[in-house]
A and B are shown apart, each in its own frame.
Chain A
Amino acid sequence: MKAKVHVTLKNGVLDPQGKAIGNALHGLGFGAVRDVRQGKYIEIELEERDAAKAREAVERMCRTLLANTVIENYRIDLDA
């Protein structure tokens, strides 16, 4: 089973990298860009067939290491 984890900054947390990307996009003429937030995408191959167990394990991974929940949210998608 494969877990796909998106880690993103919480609303209201300043994202200087996203801001810099937004400025660069404006500089390239993409005038429609209003705001950019940068996050992380992590793929995890799991030796686990039970989706509920897999999700629970990845939840724990997110809380202990993959995300810092002071500033970040995470979203888990599972592929069988």
Chain B
Amino acid sequence: MKSAIVVFPGTNRERDMALALRRATGRDPSIVWHSGEALPKVDLIVLPGGFAHGDYLRCGAMAAHSPIMAEVKKRAEQGVTVLAVCNGFQAACEAGMLPGVLMPNACLKFVCRDVHLRVERSVRPFTGRYNAGTVIRVPVAHHDGNYYADRETLDRLEGEGRVIFRYSAPDGTLGDAHNPNGSARHIAGILNERGNVLGLMPHPEDLVDPVMGGSDGLGLFQGLAESLAA
């Protein structure tokens, strides 16, 4: 699997992402600067975490209009797999690649800690390595992770099986106490209509090795490597 990580000014999670991809695929991803439109031919494009363009105006709003995003959108429409994490998720929503928007956390605080995610669906190319209902532990680190969409959009996402991760208790129970940011219906990660773009706020790339304190996130990258093996 060949992959590329898009870097905007203010992106800061590209190295963690590269490490996770190297770990799962044995090869280094290309790192692509946002201002050039030349994106190598790859099987996976990653929009990583950080604070692109200082999160000015709205999180991800500037990044969504970076020169490279037109090409990222085009590739996604052609069926190329896109993984959008944290600030990347915000940018993908702003770019119209995913529905809804990430608003300031309901608690108004930056939340940086491990959370539990219930895998709602086991679906290639992203979560094929997990069973539906499995609970994984991964970190979050964000101020604007409060997923919002109107009721029809939320109903459609659920009806079409496009809610992939929800914040939960370690045993999979849902509740406001386990929702770190106030996201509608405890949503942590969603798919686009075609199923080739996944956006999620938590950072699975930061728990891919026991030395990091856990490896629950590795399955996502192994699943991608398996599904997208050339």
Binding site for B on A (CB under 8 A): 13-14, 16-17, 20, 40, 64-66, 68, 70-71
Q: Is the CB of B65 within 8 A of A65?
A: yes
CB distance from B180 to the nearest CB of A (A): 14
Are A16 and B58 interface neighbours, CB within 8 A?
Answer: no
List the count of A-B residue pairs having beta carbons below 8 Å apart. 37
B61 in contact with A14 (CB, 8 Å): no
Q: A64-B65, A71-B101 are in contact. Are A16 and B94 (CB under 8 A)?
A: no
- Size of the B side of the interface (Cβ < 8 Å), in residues, is 19
Known contacts A65-B57, A70-B100, A71-B101; is-contact A14 B182 (Cβ 8 Å): yes
- Per the 8 Å Cβ criterion, residues 53-82 of B in contact with A are 57-58, 61, 65
A-B contact pairs, 7 of them (CB 8 A): A14-B146, A16-B103, A16-B106, A16-B146, A17-B104, A68-B58, A68-B61
Q: Nearest residue in A to B101 (C-beta to C-beta)? A: A70
Q: Closest approach, in angstroms, between the C-beta of B115 and any C-beta of chain A? A: 19
Nearest-Cβ distance from residue A67 to partner chain B, whole angstroms: 9
Quick one: which of B57, B101, B103, B149 contacts A66, CB cutoff 8 A? B57
Q: Which residue of A lies closest to B149 (CB)?
A: A70
Q: Select which of B105, B108, B148 is within 8 A of A13 by beta carbon.
A: B148
The distance in angstroms between the C-alpha atoms of A68 and B104, with both chains bound, is: 14
- Residues of chain B within 8 A (CB-CB) of A13 are 103, 148
CB closest chain-A residue, reference B64: A65
Is the beta-carbon distance between B61 and A65 smaller than 8 angstroms?
A: yes
Interface residues of B in 92-115 (CB under 8 A from A): 94, 99-101, 103-108
Q: Which A-chain residue is minimally distant from B99 (CB atoms)? A: A70
CB–CB A16/B105 < 8 A? yes
Give the residues in chain B near A17, CB-CB below 8 Å: 104, 108
Are A14 and B103 neighbours in the complex by a CB distance under 8 Å? yes
- By a CB distance below 8 angstroms, the chain B residues around A70 are 99-101, 148-150
**Whole-angstrom distance between the alpha carbons of A13 and B150 in the complex?**
9
**For the complex of A and B, 9 pairs with smallest distance between CB atoms:** A70-B101, A16-B108, A16-B106, A71-B101, A16-B104, A68-B101, A20-B108, A68-B58, A71-B148
* Least CB separation from A67: chain B residue: B58
CB <8 Å contact, A68 and B94: yes
Q: 8 Å CB contacts to A: which residues of B129-149?
A: 146, 148-149
How long is the Cα–Cα vector from A40 to B58 in the complex, in angstroms? 11
Other A-B pairs beyond A66-B57, A70-B148, 18, CB < 8 Å: A14-B103, A14-B106, A14-B146, A14-B148, A16-B104, A16-B106, A16-B182, A17-B108, A65-B57, A65-B61, A65-B65, A68-B61, A68-B94, A70-B99, A70-B149, A71-B101, A71-B103, A71-B148
